[in-house]
Every structure is written in C-alpha cells, then in structure tokens.
Amino acid sequence: MSTSQVYFRPKDLPELGYSAAQIPRLLRQGRVLRMGRGLYRWSDAPAAATESLSAVALRSPNAVVCLLSALSFHEIGTQDPPQVWIAVGIRARRPTRTGVPVRVVRFSRAGMTIGVEKHHIAGVAVSVTSPARTIVDCFRYRRKIGLDVPLEALADALQRKTVTRGELMRMAEAFHQQSVMRPYLEAYSR
C-alpha cells in the first residue's frame, strides 16, 4: 500500500496511482477488500479502533461523528457503541450504504458547525464533535441514550481534565443546556 488512506472509493484511485479498472485484479490478488458497494479497504492497512469512522466519513462527508462514537473517539467514559453515531443536517438525506452500522440524529445548521473539529483518521478527514460539545450533546439527547451516559462522561472528562467547566458552560449556553447541566457541574465541583 502506497498511501496512508485505508478506505477508498473507485473515484479516489487515480490520486492513489491506480485506475478503477484495476479493482477486480486487486481484489483477486488480495490487496484490496470490498467493504460494501463502492467502498474498499487496503488489506495490509493496520486495523484501528476508529477505522469505522473513516469508512462512514468517506460515504457521508458532511456527517458529523457525535454522541457515543465521539465519546469513544475522545476516550471519555466507557462507551463502546456497536454502531457509529452520526449527525446530519435537518433536511439532509439519511446516509445509506455506509459499510458499517450507523445511528443517525439530526442537527441544525449551527449544530453542524459549532464545536465540530476535523481529524484525520486512516487518511480520511472526519468531522467529530469536540469533547465539551460531545458532553453537552449527551445531555441534550439524554432521553435517547440515558442519563447515566452524560453523567459518566462529565465526571470522567472533569477528573481527567479533558474539558474545563468554562468550556462546558459556554457550549451548554450555545445549545440552551445550562439549566440542565448547572446542578451536575456544581455537584462535581465539591
């Protein structure tokens, strides 16, 4: 493999030095694995725990990794979700054929940009919510994921100093969650 990109689509091959017509030969030789319709992986690429995030980002470049998957990415708490949690715009199409199981939530236009960071995973640019934004989102979606998840994430992130109380309150204000989060922040400051 001559690139750091683990996943690719046929249209990505020219920049990698191959043509789409070479895919059947690469499959026969075992150099490439088919992950799903139109999604391939180099067989000799090292496996990574976050690899599924890059597979989703290739298929849905406008999606944002969020909630439980973002907690796992930032190593906050103990969540290890069986599917990739992503956010798409309110009017955006729900991604299909991502190659891995996904759980989709909807974010507003502002929600798709505030507190969203770009990371390169397996050679693919992936949008992921920041640690503070992820914790605030867990409180926002507590009816979907349960209250134990944001409480564990909040305690872990504050203990390990992954986020500050100021960052959390600024992000909570941006998403109108300060009244929900304030009692928990005060409890952890004692």
Mean per-residue pLDDT, 44-52:
68
Name the token pair of 110. 């502002």
For the segment 68-114, what is each residue's pLDDT rounded down to a tens digit? 999 999 999 998 888 899 999 999 998 877 777 899 999 999 999 99
Q: Does the pLDDT value for residue 3 go beyond 60?
A: no
Cβ neighbour number for residue 98 with a 10 Å cutoff: 22
Q: Does the pLDDT value for residue 23 go beyond 70?
A: yes
Place of tokens 């990739």: 84
Cβ neighbour number for residue 54 with a 10 Å cutoff: 24
Where helices occur in 20-130 by DSSP H, the ranges are: 23-28, 51-59, 67-73
Q: Does the pLDDT value for residue 2 go beyond 50?
A: no
Cβ neighbour number for residue 147 with a 10 Å cutoff: 12
Cβ neighbour number for residue 107 with a 10 Å cutoff: 23
Nearest residue to 170 via CA among 126, 119, 135, 145: 135
CB burial of 33-53 (b: ≥16 within 10 Å; e: otherwise) equals: eebeeebbbbeebeeeebbbb
Cβ neighbour number for residue 68 with a 10 Å cutoff: 25
Name the token pair of 108. 């507003």
Angle 175-180-184 from CA coordinates, rounded to 5°: 120
pTM of this prediction?
Answer: 0.77
Residue 65 in contact with residue 85, Cβ under 8 Å? yes
For the segment 128-184, what is each residue's pLDDT rounded down to a tens digit? 999 999 999 999 999 999 999 999 999 999 999 999 999 999 999 999 999 999 999
Cβ neighbour number for residue 128 with a 10 Å cutoff: 24
Nearest residue to 69 via CA among 94, 95, 105: 105
